[in-house]
Amino acid sequence: MNRKKRRLYILLLCAIGIGSATALTLTAFQDNLVFFLAPSDIAREAPPPGRAFRLGGLVEAGSVERGGATVRFRVTDGAHTISVTFSGVLPDLFREGQGVVAQGVMGPDGTFAAREVLARHDETYMPPEVAAALRRSGHWNPSQGAAPPAATWNTLSPATRTGS
């Protein structure tokens, strides 16, 4: 075994060592690495009362009530739903069907009192005309959640887009 080969094997061994150490660390700190808890996570194991955490999910369709300075809405992940109250400025992207991450504490009545609400948009990007065409054709209602599979719209031609 010559010197170059030996150096290569030493580096490979180090890579395996560092890689597995990192993997173990990340697995151990799994709970601390999540940025928010989904309603299902909370249903499974609720955080201790009075402790601040972040709640994330979609704003349920038809759940937004604006009464004065306070907004009430429900955050859902499909399986479970949690009511949220918030008084403050909502981000521009806030709407029904949008992803949100709210920071706050769970009240005794099971309502989440948010101090801050952030919008979390999805990974799809489409021109306004395409979104309008999908809505008109009944393929997508943005307030119900995520857009349909990208393959059904990502090549809709400009002629279709402007043909309204």
Partner 1 sequence: MLRGVDATSPSANLPRPGGSLHRFANPGRFLRLTDSWLPVLAAAAALVLGWGVVWGLFFAPPDWQQGETVRIMFVHVPMAWLAMGGYLGLAVLSLMSLIWRHPLADLTARELSPIGAAVTALCLVTGSLWGRPMWGTWWVWDARLTSVLVLFFLWLGHAALVRAFDDPERGARMGAILALVGVVNLPIVKFSVDWWNTLHQPASLTRIDAPGMHVDILYPLLVCAVGFSLAFAALVLAATRAAVMERRVRALQMAAARRAEASA
| Residue 79 DSSP one-character state | S
Strands 81-87 and 112-120: parallel
Instruction: Specify the residue for token string 């008109």.
Output: 136
* Nearest-approach distance from CB 111 to partner 1, in angstroms: 21
Nearest CA-CA partner of 119 in 86, 151, 82, 148: 86
Binding pattern to partner 1, positions 44-73, x when CB under 8 A? ------------x-----------------
Nearest CA-CA partner of 40 in 78, 73, 80, 97: 80
Residues 6 or more apart from 8 whose CB is under 8 A from it?
none
How far is it, in rounded angstroms, from Cα 74 to Cα 83?
4
Q: Pick the closer one to partner 1 by CB: 81 or 91.
A: 91
18 binds partner 1 (CB under 8 A): yes
- Residue 139 counted as an annotated binding residue: no
87 binds partner 1 (CB under 8 A): no
Residue of 70, 87, 124, 141 that binds partner 1 (CB under 8 A): 124
Query: Which residues contact partner 1 (rule: CB under 8 A)?
Result: 4, 7-8, 11, 14-15, 18-19, 22, 26, 30, 33-38, 56, 90-93, 95, 101, 116-132, 142, 149-151, 153-156, 158
| Residue numbers belonging to the annotated binding site | 121, 125
